[in-house]
Amino acid sequence: MLEIYPEKAQKDRAKHLAVNDQSLEKANKCITSNRKSLPGVMTIRGCAYAGSKGVVWGPIKDMIHISHGPVGCGQYSRAGRRNYYVGTTGVNTFGTMNFTSDFTEKDIVFGGDKKLAKIIDEIEVLFPLNKGISIQSECPIGLIGDDIEAVSKVKTKEHGKTIVPVRCEGFRGVSQSLGHHIANDAIRDWVLDKSDSKEPSYQIGPYDVAVIGDYNIGGDAWASRTLLEEMGLRVVAQWSGDGTIAEIENTPKVKLNLIHCYRSMNYIARHMEEKYSIPWIEYNFFGPTKIAESLRRIAAHFDDTIKEGAERVIARYSAEYEAVIAKYRPRLEGKRVMLYVGGLRPRHVIGAYEDLGMEVVGTGYEFAHNDDYDRTIKEMGNATLLYDDVTGYEFEEFVKRIKPDLIGSGIKEKYIFQKMGVPFRQMHSWDYSGPYHGYDGFAIFARDMDMTLNNPCWKNIKAPWKSEASGDSVKAVA
Amino acid sequence: MPSVMLRKREDGKLLFYVAKKDLEETIESLEFDSPDRWGGEVVLGDGSRYFFEILDSPPKIPTTLQAKRLSEE
């Protein structure tokens, strides 16, 4: 398959593709990851700005996130991720709005700091209920060397609000992964460190937890939160779906950090573990098997009331999810799935598919690091495919050879496969559906998979480039 | 001299994490690990070797320390 590449590219790409072998303890023996994509291949990755503004900062609803630089980056990433939130947009929440400094030639030549200062002042006048501002740098800011930190400091003093400069210029790093890291560090340096001296604004309880790395896509964080609260825990903060700056400032007081998206938020969890001695664990709320496992693991960190709570929750929903499995499993049994998503789903959703009797035959990450693959190897069956930073061409070839029944990937891949007549679900933003987390989400997940897979339309689709060259078919269409 | 974040895994093993290098490995052996002497040469799960300054008492884990990478023979 790699034959079409030049020799050097062939060698490089071969390292990113592997066949899973569960006996391996360490992924770096079989697969390379987090390396620069080769020029010329169609990578599906994003940039550091996407990782910071789109993923980590964007969902914090009561802050205004300025896309500092030319207008496009902010506009084309606006509201595309479906991070749901409660609030009145434009008054006290700003999640789906796009704020940009709209750089022009003049700003590149003379610097954009003055403009930035002016924007911050304007925001204060127009949206006085904002609780803070973050400045998300686009590429030119780093290239022309603007001092956004200085502007932030001056304006923080002037307005008395948290203003965070984030150095997430798109050219940094190999993928959005570095953007997550930069965003985490910015939260550490500009939010957590500064709020250390503040008194907590609430009564600290023994069962306080923070949900970290759940971006509330289609309401995911809410579906997760209800389960945690039902078992007796108090969710103090949501990072960052439907989250607020106050929640983030409160997080260092919690007893346990629960990490859902490990890749994008582990840095801050590690920091809090070191500085505030808050333990953290990863959990997985996709599919009943994994949910039960996770609930018990979380409960193990607390006393018996929570442990009982976990069992109670599992028992309470068991009739519900068993009904879901009973309904959909016969329709989905034995179907084969290929995944290619971002940072956590390539391994997290495997359990949910298996609960439905489906088999994941290939999985891969856009921007994972080695430790993600360490974790993936155990989840995947033997002799299944692993592909890191798969290129458009490779993914297509894999699908042609393996012929999966369903593909779960992102919007950039969606239409290629739909035109090929392969059922496809978008696993970044749940194809305008969701939530998929939690027991409630599992029911929706199962319904969506069934709806897609067993949709009669797939039989009728023929790739346009495969249409018969005879005149008859053209006439039939006309 | 990478800065290394040390933390305990659930099973009690020490994890050696270097954010910049994207390296997370278990510590297989530590030269000195007694109440009055801690540090020295460490061997990681992948066989690479690092060196911590020798401390008078074990550090409070989790923590971040400087480590020196020892060349492989």
DSSP calls for chain B: --EEEEEE-TTS-EEEEETTTTEEEEEEEEEEEETTEEEEEEEETTS-EEEEEEESSPPPSSEEEEEEEEPP-
Q: Which fold has domain A48-195?
A: Rossmann fold (3.40.50)
Over range B18-39, report the average pLDDT: 83
Query: What digits encode the pLDDT tens for the residues A403-460?
Result: 999 999 998 899 999 888 899 999 998 989 989 999 999 999 999 999 999 999 988 8
- Quote the tokens at residue A418: 């739909």
Mean pLDDT of A120-133: 96
Interval A364-403: pLDDT, tens: 999 988 888 888 888 888 888 999 999 999 999 999 999 9
Task: Say what the pLDDT of residue A168 is.
Answer: 95
- A&B contacts, CB < 8 Å: 27
Which residues of chain A have a CB within 8 Å of the CB of B23?
370
Indicate the average pLDDT of chain A. 91
- What does the pLDDT read at residue A471? 45
pLDDT at A57 over 90: yes
Which residue numbers of A have CB closer than 8 Å to B's CBs? 25-26, 28, 34, 181, 267, 270, 273-274, 277, 369-371, 374
Say if the Cβ atoms of B24 and A181 lie within 8 Å.
no
Cα–Cα dist A374/A25, whole Å: 7
Cβ separation A181–B19 shorter than 8 A: yes
Mean pLDDT confidence for A116-137: 96
- In the residue annotation, A316 being an active-site residue is answered as no
User: In the annotation, is A50 catalytic?
Assistant: yes
Looking at CATH, the fold of the domain delimited by A208-312 is given as Rossmann fold (3.40.50)
Q: What is the pLDDT of residues A312-365, one digit of tens each?
A: 999 999 999 999 999 999 999 999 999 999 888 999 999 999 999 999 999 999
| Average pLDDT, integer, range A236-248 | 92
Domains A48-195 and A318-467 belong to one CATH topology: yes
Taking the C-alpha atoms of A377, A378, A383 and A385 in order, what is their torsion angle to the nearest 10 degrees? -40
Nearest CB to B22 within list A25, A273, A370: A370
Residue A18 is a catalytic residue: no
From the list B5, B22, B45, which residue is nearest A270 (CB)? B5
The catalytic position among A16, A81, A181, A347 is A81
What are the φ and ψ backbone dihedral angles of A35, each rounded to 5 degrees?
A: -115, 160
Catalytic residue, chosen from A18, A27, A48, A50, is: A50
Task: Say what the pLDDT of residue A438 is.
Answer: 94
Nearest-Cα residue of chain A relative to residue B18: A267
Helix or strand run (H / E) with residue A39: none
Q: 3-state DSSP call for residue A136?
A: strand
pLDDT, tens digit, for every residue of A271-311?
999 899 899 999 999 999 999 999 999 999 999 999 999 99
A46 with A176: CB under 8 angstroms? Answer: yes
Helix, strand, or coil (residue A207) = coil
Q: CA-CA distance, A95 to A116, in Å (whole number)? A: 20
Residues 6+ apart with CB under 8 A from B58: B33, B35, B38
Q: Where are the domains of chain A?
A: 48-195, 208-312, 318-467
Q: DSSP letter at A365?
A: B
Question: What is the CATH number assigned to the segment(s) A318-467?
Answer: 3.40.50.1980
By C-alpha distance, the chain A residue nearest B8 is: A279
Q: Which residues of B touch A371 (CB under 8 A)?
A: 22, 24
Residues A285 and A96: their CA atoms lie apart, in Å, by: 26
Output the furthest CA–CA distance in chain A (Å, rounded): 78
pTM of the entire structure? 0.91
State the Cα torsion A30-A31-A32-A38 to the nearest 10°: 130
Q: Give the Cα separation of A175 and B22 in Å (integer).
A: 14
Here the ipTM equals: 0.84
In chain B, residues 7-66 whose CB comes closer than 8 Å to chain A: 7, 17, 19, 22-24, 45-46, 62-64
